[in-house]
Structure 1
Amino acid sequence: MGEARIMFLDKEEKYIFDKFAKQASGSVYYQSGNNVLLATVAIDEDCIVEEDFLPLTVQYIEKAYAAGKFPGGYVKREAKPSDFETLTARIIDRSLRPLFSKNYCYPTQITILVLSADNDADLQILALNAASAALYVSEIPLKFPVNGVRIGRIGEEFVVNPSLKEQEQSTLDLLVSGVNEDLLMIEMRTFGGIKVKPSSNPLSLMTTLNEESITSFSANELEENQLIEALEIARTHISKKSQSIVQSFEAFVKPALELGEGRKSFVCEGIESFICQQYLESLRKIIESLSKTERHSQLKAFAKKIAQDWKAQNPNDIESLEQRVEETLDKVKRNLIRQMILEEGKRADGRGLKEVRPISIETNLLPKAHSSALFTRGQTQALVVCTLGGDMDAQNYELLTEKTTSKERFMVHYNFPPFSVGEASSIGATGRRELGHGNLAKRALECSLIYRDSKTIRLVSEILESNGSSSMASVCGGSLALAAADIECTSLIAGVAMGLVCEGEKYAILTDIMGLEDHDGDMDFKVAGSAEGITALQMDIKLGGLKTEILKNALFQAKEARLHILGLMEEAKRKIVLNTESLPSSQIFAIHPSKIVEVIGQAGKTIKEIIEKFEVVIDLNRDNGEVKVSGGNKEKVDAAKEHIINIANSKESKPNIYELYQVGDIYTGRVKKIVEFGAFVELPHHYDGLLHISKVTHNRNEKISDYLKEGDEVRVEVLSLNKNKVELGLLD
């Protein structure tokens, strides 16, 4: 058991090792301010996973008691992880996964529990710090001190690890993790912003958007050089903290476990030479097959043929022959693909390094959906469907650091059914990958939305075919689906996935990678944005660090591809025909608060006529005069808006009651209507005042009709004026 303290950005971080969860391979009690997290690492050293993947699982769990709260919902116990918990676990996983060697094959579980949380806590950074510390001091034989920083941008200044209050003012959210000088994982998004002329209008920002008060609305895209500058700031701070961690944790690092040889390799040098000498050209032709499914089936058949030929020449060599041939062939295939790219500048499908696959776009092909877009790029196809709703359709969610429930009014749901890659399996619950890809698309698109009212927008991306970059196809299709739903945005947003092949000092950057290049390449780099710059970015590195020169070249190469795709999307946008019969519409505007009563009319007569005539729903705010009209037909919604404005602007409409009456005024009026609780008395200027029964008799057994009848003339006094209502008292 031991304790270490680190000062970083004027904040003290306390790490207590192996006081808690002592049976885990590594554990750390991590405290920063009032925030406390417990991270543990457990491995199953008796189990070896033979499949070719890293058996690492990361779980990030928030405990409601950490913020003095009860879990939301009917069952008062933590259950299914929230979206935030799942996305945070993915960030930690993607940051730590590159540290493990390819041959590591022991099931490993990293668990992070949030035990205490301040309202201003950046829990993602804290969780990454805790998990990395637990892994660093554990018995697993890898010793790299990963840490992460968040970069914001307020005005023109970059801010390192901004507080939650500062993040509300920031136009940038850039999360970077790394080791020493090496960057391992990048998540980035921008936030749209609006500037409005000074105005005395008491209405909300959404209402002023309908007025001529906007000076600018921007997605606040980040230019490539600005992103490089921000990443260099992150790199500097990550390097400094890495050194502090090594110095402070050195005494607490456990001796590495003797885990044996790990996963057995079936790669055979003899079979490798056999394939290279006799089958290289045949393998090249299979790699160049245009169809992903054809290539996969041909490779399986090709492996069987090689095994048969090898067995014919080596009849006694039969042990694990098929597995040895398959693994060896996979190694030769990988080397050949990388050699073609680096030496010949040629890719598996014949494209140049900077070439984007052919793109086709169709919009509003689903007649009853509010809007839809089918975006096809090579062998990747996304059908993105947009649905518009109101306040009641928003998704409620809770965050540990917030006291109240929040509403999500823009949702992007990404679905990846097995048939999209030719697999015959059932469709199950939404997985972490689907949640992550949907979140990436949401981050790319959300900053471009110009909300003119309180719409709720849901985009669903159905991946119908996948051979690389399906999340970026969702971004492109999603942006077009928004346009096809007549949602106003700053601009179209396009996305492209970039790849990297690197051997020594030689490297090649690949535009619009397909599945084969993603599998055998060294980087997965997704960039989305408009013609003005980047709105979202996600990067995972499979090799160590990434040189600034390579990163800069990749960003500008991605910009070329993005501009090419945006050109095709703009052309498709001009051809959009709206689904006017299915597309709902809404308008939010303002009239003078005193005119609301005119829109309602006597006993609601006027507003009922408007609703029936135009087939709309109308919401009125008596306090600020805000009017929201929504319906299933845009023309009728616009006509209803115009009708209401005409009523409010009519010279014949009644003036404000505060201008007509004063408390204490005495009038002689005619009883217009008798109701159970009193009588309505017609006053001068065509307003009706309420004479409550309590102002006529105090006997509960008596009725107002015992004293007054419709048509009677009475002398009344104005007792109060409240929200366009006149309350009267009876004079003898």
Structure 2
Amino acid sequence: MKEYKFTLAGKDYTMKSGLIAKQADGSVVIESNDSVVLATATMGEAMEGAGFFPLTVDFLDKFCSGGAIPHNRITRREGRPSTQAILNARICDRPIRPLFPKGATNPVQIVITPLSQDQTSDLGVLGMNAASMALTISGMPFEGPIAAVRIGLKDDQFIVNPDFNELNNLDLDLLVAGKLGAITMVESRANEISEDKMLEALALASKHIDELCQHQLEFAKEFDIETKEFTISKLEDEKVDLITQAIDLNDLEFKITTKKEFKAKFKEVLNKVLEKLESAIEEETISKSNVYDLLNKAFEKVMRKNILEKDSRIDNRSLTEVRSLQSWVGLFERTHGSGLFERGETQSVTTMTLGGPQDALLIENYFEEEEKTYYHQYNFPAYSVGEARPNRGPSRRDIGHGNLAEKALLAVIPTQEQFPFTIRVTSEIVGCNGSSSMASVCGSTLSLMDGGVPLKAPVAGIAMGLVSNEDETQFKILSDIQSLEDFAGDMDFKVTGTRTGITALQMDIKLKGLKQEVLANALNQAKDGLNHILDHMESVIDKPRSEVSKHAPIIATIQINPDKIKEVIGKGGETIQKLTAETNTEISIEQDGMVTICAKTKEGYDEAVRRISEITYEPQAGETFDAKVVRIENFGAFVEIMPGKQGLLHVSKISPERINHPSDILKIGQILKVKLTEVDREGRYNFSHKEFFKKPAQSPDQKEGQAPEQEKSEQDKEK
């Protein structure tokens, strides 16, 4: 077994290899505190005709690593990957994929498995670093190593690799991956921080990434690395020349504004080339797919050249120009808030739904269950890009885009104390020509403001692109990229923010790395685009509506004495279950006595408040009540002044005159006025009816001063 120890920003780490997973091409364990993460890298035989690089990254949920048993009561096994596991897999995939050769067809699988974990270590960051080290010693043609660092900001102080359980309390949570001297991936959430502060954080991350990469290179020196054969899909030069000669680049110098226009124009050029190559195709010297692929590459080359040399984009926009914008709010009557945001051909229909505490999203992790009272879910149906394919639920991409849109709004979402609703935002991408995740951010702002959610400020999003020359000495940054520019470009840099500052970033590149100068220019250019989009959105709705929708539930909180919680809940939950069923409400109670009531109608809410007030009410001596007789004993009667509040009406306190038995005057179910005379040390109530007693009316046959028949017979008995 080989072992390498190092320290980064005051924290100790250990990398090990050779003890476990020896059959994998590369296997590394990384340790930090009590956390241990295994990463393996394995390569398979080439897949002919794959048309893409078959890289898969899996991050496995392992409850046993945290000393826990899965919550599934039937199998007690881990099920589908959790949202956090999917996000961890994506952040590992994104910086690694560009560092394999173009045209690679050998399947590569990276599996990250937590073996032990505490509540402080960032398993995603540990997994990325372990995966890079496993690839570095695997012998695959991986142009790494890469490293990942998380930078936090709290009280204006940067923290390198902050504790994972503290991430939600930071003003900045920035995850950066890169190689020596260059950044390859960025993911962040921020509380409206400035561009300068973000660049400062990126510079700090780059410094530590370089340090981590050096540690990996040092550890790699201890291995005899055997280079593996890797198959690159490549068309023979003579076939490439044959097809290239048939392509007239002037035919690709067209301008379009819609995807349909592009498809029609591209098909026209493709048919022209196929006609020239008809005999070669019939003789099976080349295939139609060969022609299609090379024509695509030729188009990309023309488009990139026009941007670099002429500042000319495919749709005639300037480099900083945003596509045409249109927005609507309040589209659907029964939703609690809705917005349609349209940028070019990209459309996001976003709806907002308000709920109570019971509607919070339950997050199961290894140590405890957490609840999210604000969450965003993104859907990308096939029809949005004119395709027909089965809908098999949210993809990893859908989950990642939803998470980004959610993070973008976190900085402006009100606290539970300010707005005690659960907020679910849903984005349906009904049309897409690039930047759909950023459209969902803008749609979120519109729907939330339409629904009366008191946002601190509106948030917009924009996707920035990049085109550079072969040696990366010249580059042009594009604002608001569409699909063709994303596909043919070098960068997809998503920026969200308010007028005050940045709320989220996400960057992926196809280059081997990116200099910080490019990121700085892109951020500055993005700011102008964001302000332009915010101007448009505020022309549609400039502030949150003063009230929530009339179809939204009523949610309010009342404070009760914590000692009364058990009375509201009742034995085995009987009281609260009956209360919620009869008032059609949902009620949750915190340990501090804060009661949250979620009701569908005002009548249900008012009734729930009334009944809880009755249950928790503490009567004071001297108060009077209308009481109901519920039980009669020899020594007195028990009366109920409100549900759950009973006390004794002693026989001596029923009438000013002496009576032999309470049943002489009282009956079960009888209503009478009583006065609370005492609350004893044990909290028991003692009542009196003397003050309100009225002597029964005298019968016609009864003489003056004679007792009623019942009373007389009792008196006779006494004699």
One fold, TM greater than 0.5? yes
| 8 Å Cα contact 2:449-2:543 kept in structure 1 | no
| 8 Å Cα contact 1:672-1:679 kept in structure 2 | no
| 8 Å Cα contact 1:6-1:245 kept in structure 2 | no
> RMSD value over aligned CA atoms?
4.0
Give the AA of the match of 2:526. Answer: A
Among residues 552, 556, 580, which one is paired with 2:520 in the alignment? 552
- Are 1:586 and 2:555 matched, yes or no? yes
Displacement of 1:560 in angstroms is 0.4
Q: 1:563, 1:543 → 2: CA distance?
A: 29
Deviations 1:174-202 (A, max 9, x none): 00011111111100002xxxxxxxxxxxx
Displacement of 1:629 in angstroms is 5.4
Q: 1:392-403, aligned counterparts within 5 Å?
A: 392-400=358-366, 403=367
SS at match of 1:281: helix
Larger mean CA deviation between 513-522 and 112-121 belongs to: 112-121
Displacement of 1:237 in angstroms is 0.7
Q: Who is 2:431 aligned against?
A: 465
Q: 1:180-191, aligned counterparts within 5 Å?
A: 180-190=180-190
- Are 1:256 and 2:227 matched, yes or no? yes
Displacement of 1:51 in angstroms is 3.4
Q: Who is 1:268 aligned against?
A: 240
Among residues 217, 221, 231, which one is paired with 2:202 in the alignment? 231
Q: Who is 1:43 aligned against?
A: 43
Q: 1:284, 1:148 → 2: CA distance?
A: 41
Q: 5+ residue gaps in structure 1? A: 191-219, 600-606, 662-666, 694-703
- Are 1:416 and 2:380 matched, yes or no? yes
Q: 1:436-475, aligned counterparts within 5 Å?
A: 436-451=400-415, 452-475=418-441
Q: 2:56, 2:141 → 1: CA distance?
A: 17
Q: 1:91, 1:573 → 2: CA distance?
A: 35
Deviations 1:509-562 (A, max 9, x none): 000000000000000000001111110110012112222222111001101000
SS at match of 2:266: helix
Cα pair distance change 1:271/1:163, threshold 3 Å: same
Among residues 266, 279, 293, which one is paired with 1:327 in the alignment? 293
Give the AA of the match of 1:248. Answer: F
Q: Who is 1:138 aligned against?
A: 138
Q: Who is 2:709 aligned against?
A: none
| 8 Å Cα contact 2:639-2:649 kept in structure 1 | no
| 8 Å Cα contact 2:584-2:599 kept in structure 1 | yes
SS at match of 2:15: strand
Among residues 243, 249, 262, which one is paired with 1:280 in the alignment? 249
Deviations 1:541-597 (A, max 9, x none): 21122222221110011010000000111111149888844233433466999999x
Give the AA of the match of 2:374. Answer: F
Displacement of 1:168 in angstroms is 4.7
Displacement of 1:672 in angstroms is 5.0
| 8 Å Cα contact 1:593-1:623 kept in structure 2 | yes
Q: 1:118-517, aligned counterparts within 5 Å?
A: 118-164=118-164, 166-190=166-190, 220-252=191-223, 254-264=225-235, 268-275=240-247, 279-285=248-254, 288-311=255-278, 318-400=284-366, 403-451=367-415, 452-503=418-469, 504-517=472-485
Displacement of 1:444 in angstroms is 0.4
Q: 1:513-592, aligned counterparts within 5 Å?
A: 513-574=481-542, 580-588=549-557
Larger mean CA deviation between 441-450 and 288-297 belongs to: 288-297
Q: 1:29, 1:359 → 2: CA distance?
A: 50
Q: 2:460, 2:23 → 1: CA distance?
A: 49
Give the AA of the match of 1:283. Answer: L
The structure with the larger Rg is 2
| 8 Å Cα contact 1:6-1:248 kept in structure 2 | no
Deviations 1:276-329 (A, max 9, x none): xxx3332222xx2222133124323421321212447x7997511423322221
Q: Normalising by structure 2, report the TM-score.
A: 0.82
Displacement of 1:358 in angstroms is 0.6
Q: 1:12-91, aligned counterparts within 5 Å?
A: 12-45=12-45, 47-74=46-73, 75-91=75-91
Give the AA of the match of 1:447. Answer: A
Q: Who is 2:9 aligned against?
A: 9
Q: 2:626, 2:463 → 1: CA distance?
A: 77
| 8 Å Cα contact 1:95-1:185 kept in structure 2 | yes
| 8 Å Cα contact 1:18-1:26 kept in structure 2 | no
Displacement of 1:251 in angstroms is 1.8
Displacement of 1:356 in angstroms is 0.5
Cα pair distance change 1:622/1:60, threshold 3 Å: closer
Q: Could you tell me the percent identity over the aligned residues? A: 36
- Are 1:690 and 2:661 matched, yes or no? no
Aligned residues: 654
Larger mean CA deviation between 292-301 and 542-551 belongs to: 292-301
Cα pair distance change 1:670/1:456, threshold 3 Å: closer
Larger mean CA deviation between 47-56 and 376-385 belongs to: 47-56
Q: 2:201, 2:676 → 1: CA distance?
A: 76
| 8 Å Cα contact 2:101-2:141 kept in structure 1 | no
Deviations 1:39-76 (A, max 9, x none): 1111112x224233211000000211111110012230
Cα pair distance change 1:688/1:230, threshold 3 Å: closer
| 8 Å Cα contact 1:179-1:239 kept in structure 2 | yes
Displacement of 1:131 in angstroms is 1.1
Q: Normalising by structure 1, report the TM-score.
A: 0.81
Q: 5+ residue gaps in structure 2? A: 569-575, 651-660, 689-719
Deviations 1:83-138 (A, max 9, x none): 11011000000121121111211111100111111121211111111111111111
| 8 Å Cα contact 1:498-1:513 kept in structure 2 | yes
Cα pair distance change 1:629/1:259, threshold 3 Å: closer
| 8 Å Cα contact 1:581-1:632 kept in structure 2 | no
Larger mean CA deviation between 146-155 and 240-249 belongs to: 240-249
| 8 Å Cα contact 2:559-2:595 kept in structure 1 | yes
Cα pair distance change 1:49/1:682, threshold 3 Å: closer
Q: 1:345, 1:546 → 2: CA distance?
A: 21
Cα pair distance change 1:162/1:682, threshold 3 Å: closer
Q: 2:66, 2:664 → 1: CA distance?
A: 62
| 8 Å Cα contact 2:101-2:232 kept in structure 1 | no
Displacement of 1:619 in angstroms is 5.4
SS at match of 1:80: coil
Give the AA of the match of 2:361. Answer: Q
Q: 2:626, 2:488 → 1: CA distance?
A: 89
Cα pair distance change 1:262/1:12, threshold 3 Å: farther
Deviations 1:7-54 (A, max 9, x none): 222333222223212221111122222211221111112x22423321
Deviations 1:208-252 (A, max 9, x none): xxxxxxxxxxxx311101100000000011111211211122122
Q: 1:121, 1:315 → 2: CA distance?
A: 58
Q: 1:244, 1:122 → 2: CA distance?
A: 19
Deviations 1:684-732 (A, max 9, x none): xxx9751399xxxxxxxxxx9889945899998643365xx73789xxx
Q: Who is 1:674 aligned against?
A: 630
Q: 1:84, 1:260 → 2: CA distance?
A: 33
Displacement of 1:377 in angstroms is 0.5
Q: 2:675, 2:557 → 1: CA distance?
A: 43
Give the AA of the match of 1:22. Answer: K
